[in-house]
Amino acid sequence: MKVLLAIETSCDDTGAAVINLDDGELLSNAVATQEVHAKYGGVVPELASRAHDEGIFPVVLQALDDANSSLEQVAAVAFTKGPGLIGALVVGAAFAKGLAIARNLPLIGVNHMRAHVLAHMIDAPKPDFPFLCLTVSGGHTQLIRVNGPFEFVLLGQTLDDAVGEAFDKAAKMLGLGYPGGPILDKLAESGNPMAFKLPQARVAGYDFSFSGFKTAVKVLIDRESSSNPRFVDDNLPDLCASVRFALVDTLMKKLVAASNATGIKRLAIAGGVSANRELRRRLEALGNTNRYQTFIPKFEYCTDNAGMIAMTAWYHHQHELFENAAVKPNPRLSLDTEFLPLNKPSSES
């Protein structure tokens, strides 16, 4: 059996995965989460790069072992080309290129955001094309029409901050730990989402805006705390639930509007924020109306992982879309990056 080895190092999770080149079955998906950033309240790029450098080889060995594969069976190597933190991307790219050169293997560079979407093709049920995907994370908020594995149409995106950043910043203002978004999500489960009315930006089309939302949360906290210093502590679950409702409601309104306008009733979510409980419930509820087909990824495919890189690279391999060793990672790689023929260097090189 010939396999493809995929590497993911876009931010603070070091991932490696193995996929069967014959049928696209994901055989393993190993990940090492970096704990070093917790005391800083956010990802420190330099520390992330160092941790990737230390952890990448053990994670690769773990992925091969989990897949019952050996290095001799690896017939292609893939890595995250971007977007992401440049130092972190360089570590993964260097490892993948070194292995590809040493063993004369095809090299595949993968767009991280495309991979989040195509994670839906790992396990059944898989959406038929076309489908709409709401891709939400700490760095991106995008609404995409997916016509095929190589044809993505960006319908809308955030004009300022990503929704994941809005969750994290609100969590920080509420005095929660790191990472704030998941903690806020958990506390919101016992709160009243209607306790505090928070604004939703009215942006034309399918674009989003969240910078004003963060300001509104701060204004609310400052105003109420001036008369009640224990305002946050006394109302923490309700505040978390109100923040979560406003942000998720904004996302869902745009997704449903795009579905109504395009006539596409297959709806999916992807990215780290797709692990949010309320977002998953809201999408599942749409699916239960029988008007939509909805696709919700497993938790392990929501956050950054190499399994999604492997799945996307499998499509590349099927069409011989390879890179040469001159390819460079691009921290601002966009969705509209063209796909290039065999052995032609990318436009970033």
Q: What is the mean pLDDT of residues 296-303?
A: 93
What architecture is domain 3-118+303-318? 2-Layer Sandwich (3.30)
C-alpha atoms less than 13 angstroms from C-alpha of 36 in its C-beta half-sphere: 18
- Number of Cβ within 10 Å of residue 221's Cβ equals 18
For residue 150, the one-letter residue type is: F
Give the least confident one: 17-31, 48-62, 107-121, 222-236: 48-62
Cβ contact 335:113 at 8 Å: yes
Q: What is the mean pLDDT of residues 52-80?
A: 95
| The pLDDT value given to residue 36 | 57
Q: What is the mean pLDDT of residues 207-234?
A: 97
SS3 percent helix, strand, coil of the chain, rounded to 5, is 45, 20, 35
pLDDT band at 10 (very low <50, low <70, confident <90, very high): very high
> How far, CA to CA in Å, does 127 sit from each of 50, 122, 278?
38, 11, 22
Coil, strand or helix at 138: coil
| The pLDDT value given to residue 339 | 43
pTM to 2 decimal places? 0.91
Is the bond preceding 297 in cis, omega lying within 30 degrees of 0?
Answer: no
**Where are the domains positioned within the chain?**
3-118+303-318, 125-297
The secondary element (H helix, E strand) that includes residue 29 is strand 26-33
The 3-state secondary structure of 91-115, one letter per residue: HHHHHHHHHHHHHCCCEEEEEHHHH
CATH 3.90.1170.50 matches 125-297: no
| The pLDDT value given to residue 98 | 96
Q: What is the rounded average pLDDT for all residues in the chain? A: 92
Answer whether 3-118+303-318 and 125-297 agree in fold.
yes
Cβ contact 58:32 at 8 Å: yes
Residue 270 to residue 46: CA distance in whole angstroms? 27
Cβ contact 113:336 at 8 Å: no
pLDDT tens, position by position, 280-291? 999 999 999 989
pLDDT band at 27 (very low <50, low <70, confident <90, very high): very high
Residue 337 to residue 322: CA distance in whole angstroms? 14
